[in-house]
Amino acid sequence: MVESWIDLTETLFEDLYTLERDKVHLATHCLERAAKVWWKRVKRDRSSNLPSVVWEEFRGLMFTNYFPDSEKKKLQDQFLKLRQGNRSMGEYEQEFSYIIDCVPDVVRDNKDRADWFECGLWPKIYKAVHIVKLTTFAEVLDWALWAVHGNAYARAERESLEKE
């Protein structure tokens, strides 16, 4: 829910060309109930010697408060075991990216992200992608999608020939 709210708020900031200095004020104006109480507590407990909270810090505070370390640990463990399994490529990519968005420190960089994603692919797809030695996540995803499409096309052609 927090992730969704932050995403919606950041989209609104982009659409309205919001200045960095205004983001926290505008976002906190939209908080309700427990979140409003939480923010009042954060402001009250913050040293007056510190500069105003900027958006990235606010975002981090929200995730720390509403996305505890125990949940992050669960997602990290899930990430280490994540495989495509019986998912479509889109479903696998969606879960993979969701975890990385929630726990970005599970991968070091784009190459590491590509390698992790590639390792979780179906064995046939993994072989088709791995041999090319790709270095970015976008390339791995693109090749994996082409491999899936190629396998489906080849299977349809084979079945068509068998019927004839």
| 154 and 118 within one domain | yes
Same-domain check for residues 20 and 101: no
pLDDT in tens, 46-65: 988 888 899 999 998 998 88
In this structure, what DSSP letter does residue 131 have? T
Please report, as a single letter, which amino acid is at residue 86.
N
pLDDT tens per residue, range 7-52: 899 999 999 999 999 999 999 999 999 999 999 999 999 988 888 8
Q: How many domains does the chain have?
A: 2
One domain for residues 110 and 54: no
> pLDDT tens digit string along 89-141?
999 999 999 899 888 788 999 999 999 999 999 999 999 999 999 999 999 99
Same domain, 78 and 156: yes
Claim to verify: residue 54 and residue 85 sit in the same structural domain: no
* Structural domain boundaries enclosing 40: 2-66
H or E element in which residue 50 lies: none
Q: Are residues 31 and 109 in the same domain?
A: no
* Helix (H), strand (E), coil (C) string for 83-127: CCCCCCHHHHHHHHHHHHHHCHHHCCCHHHHHHHHHHCCCHHHHH
User: Do 59 and 100 fall within a single domain?
Assistant: no
The predicted pLDDT at position 149 comes to: 82
Residues 49 and 88 in one domain: no
Contact 22, 30 (CB under 8 A): no
Given 43, 66, 89, which residue is the final one in a domain? 66
| Shared-domain flag, residues 53 and 79 | no
pLDDT value of position 56: 93
Q: Which residues contact 122 (CB under 8 A, 6 or more apart)?
A: 84
The 10s digit of each residue's pLDDT in 130-160 is: 999 999 999 999 999 988 887 655 556 666 6
Identify the CA nearest to 96 among candidates 65, 70, 69, 117: 117
**Whether residue 148 is found in the same domain as residue 86:** yes
The three-point CA angle 69-75-81 to 5° equals 140
Q: d(Cα 107, Cα 116) in Å, to the nearest integer?
A: 8
